[in-house]
Structure 1
Amino acid sequence: MSEGIQAVLDLLRPDLQSFAGYSSARSSAVQGSVWLNANESAWPNPADAKGSSRRYPDPQPPALLRALADVYGVQPAQLLVGRGSDEAIDLLVRAFCRPGTDPVLVTPPVFGMYAVCARLQGAPLLEIPLLDAPAGLQVDIDAVIDLARDQRARLVFLCSPSNPAGSEIATGDIVRTAQALQGQAIVVVDEAYIEYSSQASATALLAAHPNIAVLRTLSKAHALAAARIGTLIAAPELIAVLRRCQAPYPVPQPCAELAVAALQPAVLAKTRDRIAGVVSERERLFHALQAAPGVRRVYRSAGNYLLVRFDDAQAAFDALLAADIVVRDQRAAPQLGDALRISIGSPEENQRVLAALSARRAAA
């Protein structure tokens, strides 16, 4: 084992260093034709047409791991699949942060689950606010490194593209953060929206920087939000540790089968076409919203959404809702007291957004 990997494993909570986790009936490699080791029903439910749901699923379905590894360009041993990215975030915080001792660093306004998981674990929360610059809401990497070092942060979450800001973090800044915090913290790069970006994945950095971990999901670009398939990509040794901390049977078999089907070449080709369509609509909507009445600023985005500031965000929210359009109210988030986040829909849906906002001027 390399020194870099060992330094990462040394960050694990001391009380979990030798933790073996729960050994489920599917954890062992034994095979047979009559399965009587898991207290399952001998008969399928009458509503189960396929008759397969009476058996517990594989904790980490091999076919799904292979399909994800092919798409992400990594090895199956580098993957932990769970109930969306949320489960991976929670596992990281619980495994590496001692309550009241090991801080989690985040960059608000950003995805709220990092802070939620830290609070549930009792881990101190450190915040470096995004800088509102001409290029958009940007991460202050120097401030992140300085605070993480000073307060001995154990986990640093970098969201790229950032939600809701839409901004990206340069690969060089991710490398610089990982190098500065080597032996002290794991740098978790959340790439939930990277399919909509032209930036290369941080998975290319894993071999040289074992304290980097990457979050991916099938919920966004792959349109499988209800299937709840999220993946953590990291060094195999780190993945093995987190598997021991994961609850049994995290991936329902129907969800795994759907995900495998969605990752086949022909389906992936259609998904790439749809991603290109979203990016095109994102550009169109970006320019059109700038001309909409009451819009103060539209931020450039590398995700499938746009963050928009309004002169009167409540009036804009109400106008959209009156047109049967639901957007995300961001006004409770730091620095975003006048902002809404608008997901990129179909061309027809996007046109309805523009029409609803334009109708405010006519009504006035």
Structure 2
Amino acid sequence: MAQKRSAFDLSKCARSNILQLQPYCCARDDYKDDGSNVLLDANENAYGPGLALNSEGALEESTVNGHSTGSSKPEIDFLGLNRYPDPHQIELKKLFCNFRNAHTHTQKNLGPENLFVGVGSDEAIDALLRCFCIPGKDKILTCPPTYGMYSVSAHVNDVGIVKVPLDVENGFQLQPEKINETLAADPSIKMAYICSPGNPTANLIRKEDIQKILEHPTWNGVVVVDEAYIDFAPEGSSLAEWATEWPNLVVMQTLSKAFGLAGIRLGVAFTSPEIALLLNSLKAPYNISSPTSALAIAALSPTNMAVMSKYRNQIVAQRERMLKELPKIPGVGRFLGGHDANFLLVELLDKPASEGGKPSNAIATGAYEPWQRNVEWLYGSGVRSWDARDVCESPLVRRRKLRSSCMS
């Protein structure tokens, strides 16, 4: 059949910045997961979801003194799936607030009015851009090496990107003085994205450095702190409750990492009631599905929080083991960044350190390829200079393969 004629020209109709985009991809695009792969590219919880499950993977009833409570089991109303979900998610927001009201950084309490709930943290990243940045005019500030979706979302929204790199020699910490100078010089920068613990640097950003940016005397903008990995950091590290103190602070979190619930796509942003109102006004009306909400509420129950804590402690123990064992392997250099996430950033050397070995991206790439073939070590969308040294820990890591790769 002959193609129908039309005056339509996609290259002239679509936005030019969208035409230049490449679809978001990851290493899993090249693999069919049959359930046997060791998947470490997205830093998920390899122990599984933070839910009380039996040996067959079914949800168990919660029991207290031998009596079933059922409080930890998601209450999914299958007969109610013909109805749209709750657009406000007040119950879920209250549970998140109770979880984060630690009173470590303030005596004020977070409430549902301080929250935006989205489809993963990525929805919050995009919503903030649409809320504060005028396409083709405004900019954001990022601190590389950092999470790639800040830049991806900025490109989608036709928003410029200004970069102030992390201080490599100082443990990948912020450079607050340089950031503040940059913000003062360019009023078109509306947001500064800070990843803490960093991805791929695994270190917490110093609270006092974040405060210096929040206290900028002239910059009229928003500081966004991404705490996706915060539950692997020391207790009390989260700055979520600081949203009650600072009108220009947003703290993003997710259930994808420590909670092991990446599959339900649930993220939150803690912020001032005024910013939360804007974000909730521009989101899709029913962005959180009923099953997602039910699973998230169950995950925040005492029984399932205990499961999450157990898995988190096991991951932290494995992280400490990796810190001890990796230096024994010839060709493994310094640990860079920090020890506050569920992965580690290390140098791979061109020869053993005892023989004067120096960091080598060629060796890192050479180690990556056999992992990819032999252990299904899925690593990310290509090997880049930072990512090539990013070794993700898991209870399933096969140290023998790592030793072989580094010594060959």
TM-score by length of structure 2 reads 0.71
Tell me if 1:253 matches 2:253.
no
- Is 1:329–1:340's contact at 8 Å kept on the other side of the alignment? no
What is the alpha-carbon distance in structure 2 between the residues aligned to residue 112 and residue 63 of structure 1? 32
Alignment of 1:1-364 (within 5 A): 50-73=78-101, 74-133=110-169, 136-152=171-187, 153-180=189-216, 184-198=220-234, 200-299=237-336, 300-311=338-349, 312-329=363-380, 333=384, 336=386, 339-346=388-395, 349-350=396-397, 352=398, 354-360=399-405, 364=408
- In the alignment, the residues of structure 2 paired with residue 99 and residue 57 of structure 1 have an alpha-carbon distance, to the nearest angstrom, of 31
Q: Per the alignment, do residues 330 and 141 of structure 1 end up closer, same or farther by CA in structure 2, a change over 3 Å counting? A: farther
Contact between 1:107 and 1:129, CA under 8 Å: does it hold in 2? yes
Distance 2:123 2:84 in 1: 19
**Counterparts of 2:368 and 2:219 in 1: how far apart (Å)?**
46
Q: 1:171 to 1:49 in 2, by over 3 A?
A: closer
What is the CA distance between 1:330 and its match in structure 2? 7.8
Answer yes or no: is the 8 Å Cα contact 2:250–2:271 preserved in 1: yes
Q: Give, in whole Å, the separation in 1 of the partners of 2:406 and 2:206.
A: 40
> Does structure 1 retain, via aligned residues, the 8 Å contact 2:145–2:165?
yes
Q: How big is each residue's C-alpha offset from its partner over 1:284-331, in whole Å with a ceiling of 9 and x where there is no partner? A: 112222222332333232111112222301221123223323242587
Q: Is the 8 A contact 2:87 2:285 kept in 1?
A: yes
Percent of aligned positions that are identical: 31
Paired amino acid for 1:245: L
Which AA in structure 1 matches 2:154?
A
Q: Which amino acid aligns with 2:178?
A: A
Letter in 2 for 1:65: K
Question: Given that residues 60 and 251 in structure 1 are in contact (C-alpha distance below 8 angstroms), is that contact kept between their aligned partners in structure 2?
Answer: no
8 Å CA contact 1:108–1:129 kept in 2: the answer is yes
Matched residues in 1 for 2:375 and 2:142: separation? 34
How many residues align? The count is 309
CA apart distance, 1:62 = 2.3
- Within 1, Cα distance between the matches of 2:217 and 2:284? 29
Q: CA deviation at 1:137?
A: 1.9
RMSD: 2.0
Q: Deviations over 1:91-133 (max 9, x none)?
A: 0011100122221000011001111111111111000111212
1:259-295: CA deviation from partner (whole Å, max 9, x where unpaired) = 1111001111221122122112111112222222332
Quick one: distance in 2 between partners of 1:204 and 1:88? 18
Shift of 1:143: 1.1
Unpaired segments of 5 or more residues in structure 2? 1-75, 102-109, 350-362
Q: Distance in 2 between matches of 1:61 and 1:206?
A: 19
Tell whether the 8 Å contact from 1:130 to 1:140 is kept in structure 2 after alignment: yes
Classify 1:69/1:193 alpha carbon distance in 2 versus 1 (closer, same or farther; 3 Å).
same
Question: How many Å separate the matches in 1 of 2:176 and 2:327?
Answer: 29
Cα pair 1:160 1:189 within 8 Å, conserved: yes
TM-score normalised over the length of structure 1: 0.80
Matched letter for residue 392 of structure 2: S
Verify the 8 A CA contact 1:319 1:357 in the aligned structure 2: no
Find the residue that maps to 1:231 and give its secondary structure.
Answer: strand
Deviates more, 1:262-271 or 1:310-319: 310-319
Q: CA deviation at 1:75?
A: 0.6
Q: CA deviation at 1:183?
A: 5.6
Amino acid at match of 1:70: N
Distance 2:403 2:220 in 1: 51
Deviation at 1:210, TM superposition (A): 0.9
Deviation at 1:359, TM superposition (A): 2.2
Quick one: higher RCO (CA 8 Å, sep 6+), 1 or 2?
2
Contact 2:174 2:209 in 1 (8 A): no
Aligned-partner Cα distance in 1 for 2:265–2:112: 19
